[in-house]
């Protein structure tokens, strides 16, 4: 099989926060009743994580579940595993009213690293990033496009947006992290 | 002359000299100077010309209220017009130039307007330039354009960078003077997130200039100590050079931070726009001194008393050698004392009040300053600089009594609280008789999301004028604000001694009974040249509403938005209307408080990220292969791929031919792909589409139309049934997001009990249309999925691998050719495209763009959403009745299409159009018939919706909507062109090519 | 610039994260309805100064539609609630009555 490439093909920029393409990430979108036992089990089987509470994100990029809405979850897993995991989930949920769609290729994933990750994000989103708890997934507006952000620790943030705007997002975040534009 | 004093200047660093230029002249200043103080230090009082009469204008104020000192800064891509000299910090290499004069500041031809001023009264332009009409374009407009306007528009792209910053705080305190600092103390340890912002570079406001003592120490020391204390509080952020620009609904506040203005070349953003959400806002924005209206009050050298004092104390600059103070209140006496103490002459204090001042009056007299009580200024002498004043009795008509030589007139008409921010979001005002000013009415505060008062005011902005009152008010307001924001307030005890002060006396005109001749020389609005006589004329002509007077006279409509002129103008109007000031009311204060840069508003949204450009996985390849880009929503799609030496038109024609004869590839990734699943999915799609989708067989595709409830066509596309309960709906490129939203809307808000899930999978796939007689061959060469006619018939789809890449292939055709649309995971999109290009070489493969796509679909008579539809077209108009189910009881738009106007047989309907001479019809051209309508325009009976040169037929082809069109086959219509000639076209079948569809179904 | 609490994800959403959806509690009229009913459904809208019920979508967020009750003149928000209802909840109506006695809107009061 040919080489899969992300929209940014591994790009990174070093400002006062480092902005990097997180590379190929497996993602599965699940629409269904998140409290349903079969749904929870199917999600756990492919991600290793339990269903998070409202706005929560459990685990991380190589195995995680993000709460996207009351009836939508985003499964995170290694890219290569996603097609098979999607198929497994479909089988597991055959008798449940749920929709499982692989979206690994539909998104671009960024990792931001540095002391000031919250500050850089606060330049581009109206969400209250300063108080966003680690492990909470915030879907919001990122400048002019939709995005979802979370912090895995105080100096590492992750951001997911649509693949088609990956260049826009990279440029936006890189500029926001430009040395000299530190706010504090 | 104005000059730098030997000593003093609490804000300047005399060890750090900077050099700058003004109108090409090299000048020197110190670090900490504003451009205004540095100009005055270099005896540059004259800084500009007024807007209308081009009168010489000097610096009047020392802060954001300055009306005259507007300059052009920098050059090239760093050029900035209308910079206020009083708020511009000077730096090494700063270049400033005065504006609004020609040919030079010193000698201005336009000043002749001043001589004609009696012919240029209020409303002059309205009255003069109406008749005769033909003169407008070539005489009046050029004249007005020549003389109007402040500054120059920048010519180059702005070379600076800007950004936004979103801040969320519980309490925002705007203003870093004593009131703001005292109030902030209440928030120490409150557990609240607090932001304190100050528009200038220095904390403390006016108190240090006034020589105040707070808590038994000099104001400067108290300020330094308090700022340190607040800085140390973990929950409080302190920021200077950040102006509260506007207060909006639900605690939204815009802050304007100036970062790089005073340190160019430091690779900093120039400005940062703070987008603040505050639980509660406390404004401690101080007060602005009012000018007095006396004849000649615009001569350079007439300044606000507080400004004269500021320049001396803050910057060690004397505005002149001999200062006459003219006032209606005690505060201005401080200026006399400061100037005297600096060793300068103060020939007189002219006090309009018969009783004179309190303790400060005694102090002045003790210092040997002559105080004239019950007197006013009859007239200021001098042209480009004050040379003296003539005094008069305040009570009289202005008969001159005595001439006093001076080069500065320091005036004070009292103070007006800065209530702008309070007012922005609906806070109402009270007229305070005692101080003769408007102050916030605490009973009518701006209200927030929960109906609570979310703005409060502290200190002199709240009408607490003397320092002793300021600290008491600020402490109380600070505590209340902390509580309002949900915090626990710290105790605040700050003391300042009360002073013995006499009451101010309102003086709206000096002298009180000034004759007309004097009133025509009393300026209210310096920037827009509005005088006392203009406002009186407006009242006389019936402009009784303050809002009307404002617009008629342009009072307060300049870039300073009437910070100095508002109350004075209002008082003059009230007097002319014979009514009290509160009855006249005040004009509405609107954000921003002072002008903010367009760059700050745009923030990061410029050049490459002005707006998000959506790119398909093959975007870079297209770019490298001659793509001529076309915007489709936020997407960029290749219009065509130009080869070296080829025109766009030629490229398009070549692409069509190549696709029809050999093999073409189209990047169709932008098409919307929505996955709809559930037991009720079929029922749901039956409601969304005009045709029946629930009967579609698994493995098959069907073209469908979507309408709005109005019945109008809004989207179309091919639906594929993936499984018994799962459908894949293709939408138009521009439609994916809103059709997805449309589906969610109906599912969430109308049919929430239906079991249907939708996921927008548009970007999961790169989609390539492989089109042309050789399409099957190239796919078979790549190997994998069986794409033979039997295995994958027309309007079928199949899944598998092609060239080792997982793929879903749809046998659908928008070109009339043998065609496969193949979806692969987006991350493999480029690899798949590369393989197609490589394998297709032997078949003559070429990529084609959207224009070739359009031409091929038009040759086939396929409609395009956005061309044949415009939001008023129903499917029936497009002869698409075959795609409208008669069996369904309901679908979105069905009822709408039953309305009388929709079933009117006179509706224009889709037909093909063939020009008689083979030329291409102009896009959007109208067909005319006999007669004309009520407006004298030709009657129209149709219009062109799509028009192209067809390379296949080598002639112009078009589609259009024509009244009774389908019944008029063969008729010729006339289409007038913009050049006055007409094209004639024959009505024909819209399918121009392969009517039987033989080519696509092979 | 409003903030509205999304009842689905609990976010106090900025207006720029939301999309407005017009008047709430419209009753759909389809085929078989009279001209007046259909006109009312498609075109006739409340335009009050005061209490108003609207639809919003948390479009730059969880994607859910919800209802909001607010005052059009002061922008006070009385509450937000589920989109899956044909009328404002009783509790909310009570709250509004406390703040705006005598209010009425369409068929509700």
CA pair distance B783, B800, nearest whole angstrom: 10
Contact at CB, A105 and B616, closer than 8 angstroms: no
d(CA B461, CA B286): 4
Average pLDDT, chain C: 96
Stated length of chain C: 109
Please count the structural domains in chain C. Answer: 1
In 3-state terms, what secondary structure has residue B184?
Answer: helix
Quote the distance between the C-alpha of residue B789 and its chain's center. 58
Domains of chain B listed by start with CATH number: 1-157 (3.10.20.440), 162-287+417-484 (3.50.50.60), 291-413 (3.50.50.60), 516-577 (1.10.10.1100), 905-988 (2.40.30.110)
Q: What is the pLDDT of residue B702?
A: 97
Instruction: Give the minimum alpha-carbon distance from B274 to chain A in angstroms, rounded to a whole number.
Output: 9
Provide the H-helix boundaries in B257-358.
Answer: 305-315, 333-341
**Residue C80 falls inside a structural domain:** yes
For residue B610, which of B601, B597, B619 has the smallest C-alpha distance? B601
Which residue, among B191, B266, B604, would best test binding to A if mutated, counting the most A CBs under 10 Å from its CB? B604
Between chains, do A69 and C17 touch, taking CB under 8 Å as contact?
no
Please tell me the distance from the alpha carbon of residue B785 to that of residue A54, in angstroms, as a whole number.
Answer: 43
pLDDT of residue B628: 98
Q: Is C107 inside a domain boundary? A: no
Across the range B894-923, mean pLDDT stands at 96
Assign B464 to helix, strand or coil: coil
Q: What local confidence, expressed as pLDDT, does residue B93 receive?
A: 95
Q: What's the pLDDT at B304?
A: 98
Q: Nearest-CA distance from B789 to chain A in Å?
A: 26
Task: Indicate if the pLDDT at residue B144 is higher than 80.
Answer: no
Show Cβ contacts of residue B94 under 8 Å, excluding neighbours closer than 6 positions.
B18, B20, B21, B35, B73, B74, B88
Check A146 against C59: CB less than 8 A apart: yes
Tell me, what's the pLDDT at B578? Answer: 94
- Over range B38-54, report the average pLDDT: 90
CA B51/CA B849 separation, integer angstroms:
54
Q: How many CB atoms lie within 10 A of CB C42?
A: 18
* Percent of chain B with pLDDT strictly greater than 70: 96
* CB-based contact, C92 to chain B, within 8 Å: no
Tell me the CATH class for A12-176. Answer: alpha beta
Count CA atoms within 13 Å of residue C39 on its CB side: 5
Per-residue pLDDT of chain C (109 residues; tens, 9 = 90+): 999 999 999 999 999 999 999 999 999 999 999 999 999 999 999 999 999 999 999 999 999 999 999 999 999 999 999 999 999 999 999 999 999 999 999 999 9
The residue written with tokens 């499982």 in the block is A100
Query: What is the predicted pLDDT for the residue at B475?
Result: 98
The tens digit of pLDDT for each residue in B675-703 reads 999 999 999 999 999 999 999 999 999 99
- Are C60 and A146 an interchain contact pair (Cβ–Cβ within 8 Å)? yes
Q: Is the peptide bond before B103 cis (omega within 30 degrees of 0)?
A: yes
3-state secondary structure of B858: helix
Q: Which of B168, B250, B447 to mutate to test the interface with C (most CBs of C within 10 A)?
A: B250
What pLDDT was estimated at residue B146?
Answer: 62
Average pLDDT over residues B850-863: 97
Q: Output the average pLDDT for chain B.
A: 94
CB contact at 8 A, B849 and B640: yes
According to the model, what pLDDT value does residue B544 have?
Answer: 85
Q: What separation in angstroms does the CA of B903 have from each of A177, B690, B704, B998, C35? A: 59, 16, 21, 34, 14
Measure the CA–CA gap between B257 and B927, rounded to whole angstroms.
57
CB C23 within 8 A of CB C45: yes
End-to-end CA gap in chain A: 48
Residues in chain A, pLDDT under 50: 1
pLDDT confidence tier of residue B114, bands split at 50, 70 and 90 = low
CA-CA distances (angstroms) from residue B253 to B443, C1, C71? Answer: 22, 9, 21
Please state whether the peptide bond connecting residue B132 to the residue before it is cis, i.e. omega within 30 degrees of 0.
Answer: yes
Q: Which of B449, B744, B890 sits opposite C77 (nearest CB)?
A: B449
Kindly list the domain boundaries of chain A, sorted by start residue. Answer: 12-176
pLDDT, tens digit, for every residue of B597-624? 999 999 999 999 999 999 999 999 999 9
**pLDDT score, position B45:** 94
Summarised one tens digit per residue, pLDDT across range B387-433 is 999 999 999 999 999 999 999 999 999 999 999 999 999 999 999 99
Mutate which of B826, B830, B831, B836 to disrupt the A interface (most A C-beta within 10 Å)? B826
Lowest mean pLDDT segment, chosen from B242-251, B449-458, B562-571, B649-658:
B562-571
Sheet strands (E) in B494-553: 523-525, 530-531
Contacts of B937 (CB under 8 A, 6+ apart): none
Q: Are B750 and C75 inside 8 Å of each other by CB?
A: no
Residue range B297-313: mean pLDDT, rounded: 98
* pLDDT recorded at residue B528: 87
The whole domain housing C86 covers 3-99
- Give the 3-state DSSP-derived string for B724-748, with helices as H, strands as E and coil as C: CCEEEEEECCCCHHHHHHHHHHHHH
Contacts of C among chains (3+ CB pairs under 8 A):
A, B
Kind of pairing, strands B13-22 and B25-31? antiparallel
> Which residues, numbered 53 to 82 in chain C, qualify as contacts with chain B under a Cβ-Cβ cut-off of 8 Å?
55, 57, 59, 63-65, 71, 74-77
- Over residues B802-830, the mean pLDDT reads 97
Q: Is B347 exposed, middle or buried (0-12, 13-18, 19+ CB in 10 A)?
A: middle
Across residues B508-521, what is the average pLDDT?
Answer: 95
Distance CA C12, CA B279 (A): 12
CA distance C106 to chain A (A): 31
Residues in contact with B688: Cβ distance below 8 Å, sequence separation at least 6, in sequence order: B706, B742, B743, B746, B891, B892
In order of B19, B25, B875, B990, the CA distances from B22 in angstroms are 10, 5, 68, 70
Main-chain dihedrals φ then ψ at residue C99, nearest 5 degrees: -85, -35
Give B166's contacts in chain A (Cβ within 8 Å). 122-123, 125-129
pTM: 0.95
The lowest-confidence range among B14-18, B471-475, B553-557 is B553-557
Beta carbons within 8 Å of B562's beta carbon, 6+ residues apart: B525, B550, B555, B556, B569, B587
Please tell me which of the candidates A124, A143, A180 has its beta carbon nearest to residue B267: A180
B539-597 confidence digits (pLDDT tens): 999 998 899 999 999 898 888 888 999 999 999 999 999 999 999 988 889 999 999 99
Strand residues in B708-814 grouped as ranges (E): 713-723, 726-731, 757-760, 765-771, 797-802, 805-810
Which pLDDT belongs to residue B109? Answer: 64
Confidence band, pLDDT 50/70/90 cuts, at residue B103: low
How far is the alpha carbon of C2 from chain B, nearest alpha carbon, in Å? 6
Proportion of chain B above pLDDT 90, given as a percent: 89
Q: What is the mean pLDDT of residues B943-960?
A: 96
> Is residue B148 very low, low, confident or very high in pLDDT (cuts 50, 70, 90)?
low
Q: What is the pLDDT of residue B118?
A: 64
Does the beta carbon of C29 lie under 8 angstroms from any beta carbon of chain B? yes
Residue B539's Cβ-count burial label (10 Å; 0-12, 13-18, 19+) is buried
pLDDT for A3 equals 87
Q: What pLDDT, in 10s, does the model give residues A74-97? A: 999 999 999 999 999 999 999 999
* Residue of B405, B211, B377, B406 whose CA lies nearest to B318: B406
d(CA B566, CA B78): 33
Region B525-543: what's the mean pLDDT?
92
Residue B722: both structure tokens together: 């993936």
Average pLDDT over residues B963-978: 96
Q: In sequence order, what are the residues at sequence separation of 6 or more whose Cβ sits closer than 8 angstroms to the Cβ of residue B30?
A: B9, B12, B13, B14, B16, B17, B18, B38, B315
DSSP label of B794: T
Q: Is residue C109 part of a domain?
A: no
Amino acid B138: pLDDT: 75
- Is pLDDT of B139 > 90? no
Confidence of residue B650 (pLDDT cuts 50, 70, 90): very high
- A residues 9-68 near B, CB within 8 Å? 24, 29, 31-32
Single out the residue of B139, B124, B146, B245 nearest to residue B554, CA to CA: B124
For residues B850 and B652, give the distance between their C-alpha atoms in angstroms, rounded to a whole number: 9
Residues A145, A164 contacting (CB under 8 angstroms): no
Which helix (H) or strand (E) segment holds residue B60: the answer is none
Per-residue pLDDT, B587: 81
């Amino acid at each position: 099989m040919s080489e899969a490439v992300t929209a940014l093909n591994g790009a990174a920029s070093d400002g006062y926060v480092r902005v990097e393409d997180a590379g190929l990430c497996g993602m599965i979108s699940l629409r269904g009743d998140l409290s349903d036992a079969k749904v929870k089990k199917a999600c756990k089987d492919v991600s290793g994580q339990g269903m998070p509470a409202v706005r929560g994100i459990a685990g991380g990029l190589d195995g995680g579940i993000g709460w996207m809405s009351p009836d939508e979850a985003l499964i995170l897993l290694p890219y290569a595993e996603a097609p098979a995991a999607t198929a497994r989930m479909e089988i597991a949920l055959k008798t449940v009213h749920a929709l499982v769609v692989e979206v690994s290729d539909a998104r671009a994933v960024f990792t931001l690293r540095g002391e000031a990750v919250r500050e850089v994000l606060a330049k581009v989103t109206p969400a209250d990033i300063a108080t966003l708890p680690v492990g909470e997934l915030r879907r919001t507006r990122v400048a002019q496009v939709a995005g979802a952000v979370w912090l895995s620790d105080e100096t590492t943030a992750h951001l997911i947006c649509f693949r088609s705007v990956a260049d826009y997002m990279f440029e936006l975040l890189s500029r926001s992290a430009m040395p000299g534009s530190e706010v504090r | 002359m104005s000059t730098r004093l030997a000593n003093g200047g609490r804000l300047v660093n005399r060890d750090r000299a900077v050099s700058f230029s003004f109108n090409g002249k090299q000048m020197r200043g110190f670090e900490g100077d504003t451009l205004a103080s540095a100009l005055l230090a270099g005896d540059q009082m004259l800084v500009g010309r007024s807007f209308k009469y081009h009168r010489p204008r000097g610096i009047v104020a020392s802060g954001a209220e300055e009306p005259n000192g507007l300059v052009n800064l920098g050059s090239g891509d760093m050029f900035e017009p209308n910079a206020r000299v009083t708020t511009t910090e000077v730096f090494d290499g700063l270049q400033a130039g005065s504006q609004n004069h020609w040919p030079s500041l010193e000698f201005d031809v336009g000043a002749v307007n001043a001589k004609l001023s009696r012919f240029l009264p209020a409303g002059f332009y309205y009255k003069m330039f109406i008749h005769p009409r033909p003169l407008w374009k070539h005489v009046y407009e050029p004249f007005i354009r020549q003389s109007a306007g402040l500054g120059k528009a920048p010519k180059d792209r702005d070379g600076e960078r800007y950004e936004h910053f979103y801040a969320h705080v519980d309490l925002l305190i705007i203003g870093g003077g004593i009131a703001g600092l005292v109030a902030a103390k209440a928030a120490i340890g409150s557990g609240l997130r607090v932001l304190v912002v100050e528009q200038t570079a220095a904390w403390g406001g006016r108190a240090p200039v006034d020589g105040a003592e707070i808590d038994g120490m000099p104001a400067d020391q108290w300020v330094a100590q308090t700022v340190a204390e607040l800085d140390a509080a973990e929950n409080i952020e302190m920021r200077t050079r950040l102006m509260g620009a506007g207060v909006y609904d639900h605690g939204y506040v815009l802050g304007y931070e100036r970062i790089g203005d005073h340190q160019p070349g430091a690779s900093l953003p120039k400005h940062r726009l703070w987008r603040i959400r505050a639980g509660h806002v406390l404004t401690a924005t101080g007060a602005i001194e009012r000018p007095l209206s006396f004849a000649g009050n615009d001569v350079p050298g007439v300044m606000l008393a507080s400004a004269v004092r500021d320049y001396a104390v803050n910057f060690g600059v004397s505005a002149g050698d001999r200062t006459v103070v003219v006032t209606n209140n005690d505060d201005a006496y401080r200026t006399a004392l400061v100037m005297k103490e600096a060793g300068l002459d103060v020939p007189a204090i002219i006090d309009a009040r018969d009783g004179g001042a309190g303790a400060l009056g005694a102090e002045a007299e003790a210092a040997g300053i002559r105080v004239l009580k019950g007197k006013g200024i009859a007239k200021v002498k001098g042209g480009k600089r004050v040379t003296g004043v003539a005094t008069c009795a305040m009570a009289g008509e202005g008969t001159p009594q005595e001439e006093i030589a001076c080069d500065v007139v320091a005036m004070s008409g009292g103070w007006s609280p800065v209530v702008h921010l309070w007012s922005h979001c609906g806070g109402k005002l009270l007229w305070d008789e005692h101080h003769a000013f408007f102050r916030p009415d605490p009973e009518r505060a701006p209200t927030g999301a929960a109906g609570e008062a979310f703005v409060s005011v502290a200190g002199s902005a709240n009408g607490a004028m003397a320092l002793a009152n300021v600290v008491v008010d600020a402490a109380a307001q600070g505590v209340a604000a902390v509580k309002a924001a949900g915090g626990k307030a710290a105790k605040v005890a700050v003391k300042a001694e009360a002073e013995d002060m006499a009451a101010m006396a309102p003086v709206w005109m000096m002298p009180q009974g000034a004759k007309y001749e004097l009133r025509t020389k009393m300026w209210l609005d310096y920037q827009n040249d509005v005088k006392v006589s203009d406002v009186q004329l407006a009242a006389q002509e019936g402009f009784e509403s303050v809002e009307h007077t404002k617009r008629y006279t342009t009072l307060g409509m300049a870039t300073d938005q009437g910070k100095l002129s508002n109350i004075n103008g209002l008082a003059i109007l009230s007097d002319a209307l014979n009514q009290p000031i509160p009855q006249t009311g005040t004009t509405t204060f609107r954000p921003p408080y002072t002008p903010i840069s367009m760059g700050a508003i745009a923030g990061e949204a410029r050049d490459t990220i002005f707006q998000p450009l959506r790119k398909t996985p093959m975007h870079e390849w297209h770019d490298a292969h001659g793509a001529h880009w076309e915007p489709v929503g936020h997407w960029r799609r290749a219009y065509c791929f130009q080869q070296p030496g080829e025109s766009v038109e030629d490229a398009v024609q070549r692409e069509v031919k190549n696709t029809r004869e050999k093999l073409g590839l189209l990047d169709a990734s932008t098409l919307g792909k929505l996955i709809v699943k559930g037991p009720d999915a079929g029922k749901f799609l039956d409601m969304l589409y005009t045709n029946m989708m629930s009967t579609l067989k698994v493995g098959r595709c069907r073209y469908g139309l979507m309408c709005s409830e109005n019945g109008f066509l809004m989207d179309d596309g091919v639906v594929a049934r993936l499984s018994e309960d799962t459908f894949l709906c293709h939408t138009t490129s521009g439609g994916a997001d809103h059709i997805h939203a449309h589906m969610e809307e109906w599912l969430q808000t109308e049919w929430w009990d239906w079991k249907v899930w939708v996921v927008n999978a548009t970007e999961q796939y790169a989609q390539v249309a492989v089109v042309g007689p050789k399409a099957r061959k190239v796919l078979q060469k790549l190997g994998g999925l069986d794409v033979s006619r039997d295995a994958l018939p027309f309007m079928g789809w199949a899944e598998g691998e092609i060239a080792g890449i997982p793929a879903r292939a749809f046998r659908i055709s928008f070109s009339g050719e043998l065609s496969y649309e193949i979806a692969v995971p987006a991350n493999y999109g480029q690899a798949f495209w590369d393989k197609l290009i490589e394998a297709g070489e032997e078949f003559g493969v070429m990529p084609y763009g959207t224009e070739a796509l359009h031409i091929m679909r038009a040759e086939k008579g396929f409609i395009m959403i956005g061309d044949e539809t415009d939001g008023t077209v129903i499917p029936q108009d497009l002869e698409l009745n075959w795609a409208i189910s008669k069996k369904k009881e309901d679908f979105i738009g069905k009822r709408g299409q039953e309305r009388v106007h929709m079933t009117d047989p006179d509706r224009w309907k889709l037909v093909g159009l063939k020009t008689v001479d083979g030329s291409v019809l102009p896009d959007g051209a109208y067909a005319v018939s006999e007669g004309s309508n009520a407006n004298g325009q030709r009657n129209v009976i149709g219009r062109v919706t799509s028009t192209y040169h067809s390379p296949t037929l080598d002639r112009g082809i078009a589609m259009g909507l024509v009244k009774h069109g389908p019944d008029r086959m063969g008729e010729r219509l006339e289409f007038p062109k913009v050049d006055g000639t007409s094209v004639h076209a024959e009505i024909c079948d819209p399918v121009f090519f392969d009517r039987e569809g033989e080519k696509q179904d092979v | 610039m409003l903030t509205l609490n999304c009842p689905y994800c609990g976010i106090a959403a900025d207006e720029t994260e939301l999309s407005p959806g017009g008047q709430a509690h419209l009753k759909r009229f389809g085929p078989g309805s009279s001209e007046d009913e259909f006109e009312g459904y498609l075109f006739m809208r409340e335009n009050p100064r005061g209490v108003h019920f609207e639809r919003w979508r948390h479009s730059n967020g969880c994607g859910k539609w919800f209802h909001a009750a607010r005052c059009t003149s002061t922008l006070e928000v009385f509450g937000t609630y589920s989109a899956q209802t044909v009328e404002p909840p009783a509790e909310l109506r009570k709250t509004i009555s406390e703040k705006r006695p005598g209010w009425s809107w369409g068929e509700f009061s």
